[in-house]
Structure 1
């Protein structure tokens, strides 16, 4: 089965889509087979990279089938090894449909175990910036989750009271007999400004969750830089846009460090290296039996 990473936050505008797209682009460049699923009603991930084949169906067919994706749900981007299930769920229609299902938390988890997805090493699920049944289903499908948090008071406060509260709510279900718990939640400090206030808030986040059993803060910090927006405008992965290897905080180096932290077996391997086994890489909190 693929390693499944869901990008979750109860606040919009924190960079979930940008991080998901750029991480997927880098892992695909490593030679891993990547599937991105746009589970946001605002289909930003669906439009992030150019698509050379658009499938006749998208996310709606995956969900309303009860988690039984078919090959005609999968589109192909122009980048080798990077496929897409696009969002075709404007408004609250799919959320309302899920509200009527007793198995709503299990639908995307079930889809991740479909034979159609066996060819993929990594599945990345982008979600909306709010609490909803689709986001909860994506959280329960993941081996681990990533929540970008900007180091400002509003974003940090919403993460603590919103995203973590959602995680706790989902895991309380296991205390009442549900046969599953969510994966770990990894905090990615994103768009970090070079200010004392940003550094102080980042330090508070690390201290607050240092002993949390399900939440941890990644060592990698993504700085605020124009390259990320410029790469999105150019519709290319940011590691291809900003290739300044000599600069510690260039997008090339930051994205490689993020991939290395998530997948330690990749440590110190750069895109373009040969003779490296890349498929079937365990990540944080991913049990060995979940690794292809």
Structure 2
């Protein structure tokens, strides 16, 4: 099972939308996918319709080490895409984990529960520095950090998310090294060159930062993404063909390119995903 944590210390950069859409595409490609919602604002938990809803969620998983799938795993309307909901509305987990001896390592220690059942685990996180965010970082094989094409967002990335990775470096003494992080330029206006400038600036700024890279794929700011969320669909099903006269590629093409860049081992599977045919697989 490959574990990707979608992280940023800045809110509103598109972590939840990214997690939902990568998960939906991967499930349509035939992978067994689990979404874990660790955001106290449970947007990912309500993105997809849940025909089968489990009685527990991330609170019971992390506070009580609940390990029974029947208690934790919700089934979404997308075949092959499951979810552990966020149910920590009071934000108690951060306090609990802060004072627990294994707090930042708890999720990492619980992952063997899921490994036999899933190919891909996607963790959505809160847009602020927290113990939960640090825990997700230390549990992951790979970090994905969306960044909006703005200079202030790039500065916050360095102050917040990159500093978090540096602060976790001492865990290397336990044999736990923070995983590589890839940056995704998100919500790019199709007619703007600002994204290219920010992309180039990020590459220059991060040239001396080991383990951090900028993805070639960027996500355009198009209406298909909020439209898909409203319809409770992965965006590649909502827009599988580029509208006439628009420069930005179809959402299906963007998501296939993004997934292939993140997970080259499954590139052939992603290439076969066709939004026009996936309704039959619901």
Alignment of 1:263-278 (within 5 A): 263-267=263-267, 269-271=271-273
Alpha-carbon offset, residue 84 of structure 1: 0.3
Alpha-carbon offset, residue 154 of structure 1: 2.0
- Aligned position for 2:106: 107
Structure 1 runs not aligned, ≥5 long: 274-292
Answering whether residue 234 of structure 2 is matched by residue 237 of structure 1, we say yes
- Aligned position for 1:255: 255
- Aligned position for 2:47: 48
Alpha-carbon offset, residue 257 of structure 1: 0.2
The superposition leaves residues 258-279 of structure 1 with CA deviations (integer Å, 9 ceiling, x where unpaired) of 1111121333522159xxxxxx
Q: Secondary structure at the match of 2:54?
A: coil
Alignment of 1:78-93 (within 5 A): 78-93=77-92
- Aligned position for 2:6: 7
Q: Secondary structure at the match of 1:95?
A: helix
Answering whether residue 149 of structure 2 is matched by residue 151 of structure 1, we say yes
- Aligned position for 2:196: 199
Alpha-carbon offset, residue 190 of structure 1: 0.5
Question: What TM-score do the two structures reach when normalised by structure 1?
Answer: 0.87
Alpha-carbon offset, residue 31 of structure 1: 0.5
Q: Please point out which of 209, 214, 219 is paired with 2:206.
A: 209
Alpha-carbon offset, residue 83 of structure 1: 0.3
Q: Secondary structure at the match of 1:102?
A: coil
Question: What TM-score do the two structures reach when normalised by structure 2?
Answer: 0.90
- Aligned position for 1:163: 161
CA distance in 1, matches of 2:218, 2:186: 6
The superposition leaves residues 246-267 of structure 1 with CA deviations (integer Å, 9 ceiling, x where unpaired) of 9761101000001111121333
Structure 2 runs not aligned, ≥5 long: 276-282
Q: Secondary structure at the match of 2:215?
A: strand
Alpha-carbon offset, residue 146 of structure 1: 0.3
The superposition leaves residues 218-255 of structure 1 with CA deviations (integer Å, 9 ceiling, x where unpaired) of 11111111111111111100000001069761101000
Q: Secondary structure at the match of 1:96?
A: helix
